[in-house]
Every structure is written in C-alpha cells, then in structure tokens.
Amino acid sequence: MLAIEDVSVAFGGVRALSEVTFEVPEGQICGVIGPNGAGKTTLFDVVCGLRRPLRGRVGVDGADVTALSPLLRARAGLRRTFQRTQVFGRLTVAGNVLAALDWRGGGGGLPADLVGWPARRRLERERAGRVAEVLELCGLTELRDAYAASLPVGQRRLVELARAIADRPRLLLLDEPTSGLDHDQTVRLRQVVAALDTTVLLVEHDMGFVMGTCDRLVVLDLGKVIARGTPAQIRENPVVRAAYLG
C-alpha cells in the first residue's frame, strides 16, 4: 500500500536518509524506530510531502506520489499527527473533529445553507453521527464541548488523533503518539489504532507500545535501514540490539 523506494535526503553535508526502501502492506501497522537523529521525522516529512527527497520515490496504492504536494496527498487520504500537538485551540473538541469532516463541503453553497435542503440536512446528520462515534472511540465524549486549548497535553493529543481518523484515512502517520499520554490514555491509543481499518506508519520511542501495537518494524540508524521484520524478529536481531535496544 505504501512503498518507499531508495529514498535519500541530505541537509548540507548531513545524510538524513540514505537509500531507504521498505513497504507497508494494506491495513498493517508499521513502526519506525531508531535513536535520536536516525532520520525518522525526515522520513515522515518525505512521505507526507513536506520534504522532497534528493532521490527515490514514494508510492501510495501503486501511484507515484513523490511529486505531489501535501494537500494533494491529504486529498488522496493521507493524514498525519505531529510531535508537537496541533489542534484548533479556539474550537471545541467536537468542533476540531467536525472540521476534519467539513472540508469537503456540503454541495449547494449558501442557498443550500439557507433553505436547508434535505440532502444537506442528511449530510449534517451523518457528520454529527461520525463526530460522536470518533469521540466515543477516543474517550472524548465527556469533553466534547471543552475548548481544545483548555485541555492538558494528553487530551489534546487524543483530539488530534480523533481529528486525523475522522474521515477514515487510507494512510495515517503518527509521530510519537504516546508522548504526553498517561497510562490509561496510552491504552486507549493502542485500542484506537488496533481498531482502525487503515494502514498506519508510526514513529515511537516507547518500546512497550511499539512492540505491542505494530505488525512490523523498520529500524533506522544514521539514515539507513538496519533491520526490518516483526517485533519478535527485531527484538532478537543482534544488530538492532547493539545499535539501539542495548
């Protein structure tokens, strides 16, 4: 579903990524791990289109998206969360999730708003239903009317997650999703990710979470893939143990 082929990125003399190649099959959860500076965030930036690689290709569903802007990749169903949470602070929790559904518009423009066309009303009901469903899944129902800016960081991260999954992305990128979460929120996050019908690529330092959540792992060190495999294979891999797990 996601194919990273021979991707290299350099910042001046620093090789952030060197000939990175791996695939994530449809519906799988793939974790990217590695020490600080290994190139994980740079890889995310390449996949979502924020950074053009020096060489190499990114394929989604068999199509080469390397030249597409982040906006066009979003339209193709790619969503991302960031290491530093980005929510709409002046919107409520429900408003944040609704914003992720509203962007496709309702058709009919202002006249449809004024007249309240049945088709428009049905769409609005469907959206309200989806917002309620996603808030429930993420454990945010009781906070639906709270302003996002007023929430502690863990809850804000769950709001960002809720927004990212609201319109059922094809590919979801999660950058350090457990950071700032307490134990219960981390358990909730794992349940949400496991319940998704979506291909997921995640960067994470919490090894317990990574090993328990991911179907497969890719290990980066100094911009190179040094191993890939199931969590059990990675745990036993002597190169990974030496470079990273200790």
Q: Does 201 bind ligand ATP (CB under 6 A)?
A: no
The number of helices, as runs of H, and strands, as runs of E, in the chain is: 10, 10
Q: Does 127 bind ligand ATP (CB under 6 A)?
A: no
Q: Does 46 bind ligand ATP (CB under 6 A)?
A: no
Pick from 54, 7, 37, 1: which is nearest to 173 by CA?
1
Q: How far is the CB of 62 from ligand ATP (least distance, A)?
A: 27
Q: How far is the CB of 42 from ligand ATP (least distance, A)?
A: 3
Q: Does 53 bind ligand ATP (CB under 6 A)?
A: no
Q: Return d(Cα 129, Cα 136) in angstroms, integer.
A: 11
Outline where DSSP puts E strands in the chain: 2-11, 14-24, 29-33, 55-60, 63-64, 78-80, 171-175, 199-203, 216-221, 224-229
Which one of 29, 30, 38, 202 is in contact with ligand ATP (CB under 6 A)? 38
Q: How far is the CB of 122 from ligand ATP (least distance, A)?
A: 44
Report how many residues bind ligand ATP under the rule CB under 6 A: 11
Q: How far is the CB of 132 from ligand ATP (least distance, A)?
A: 35
Q: Does 16 bind ligand ATP (CB under 6 A)?
A: yes
Question: Between 45 and 160, whose beta carbon lies closer to ligand ATP?
Answer: 45
Which one of 2, 22, 29, 42 is in contact with ligand ATP (CB under 6 A)? 42
Q: Return d(Cα 231, Cα 160) in angstroms, integer.
A: 27
* Angle between helices 93-102 and 153-165 in degrees, nearest 10: 20
Q: Does 14 bind ligand ATP (CB under 6 A)?
A: yes
With contact defined as beta carbons under 8 Å apart, do 226 and 38 qualify?
Answer: no
Binding site for ligand ATP (CB under 6 A): 11, 14, 16, 34, 36-42
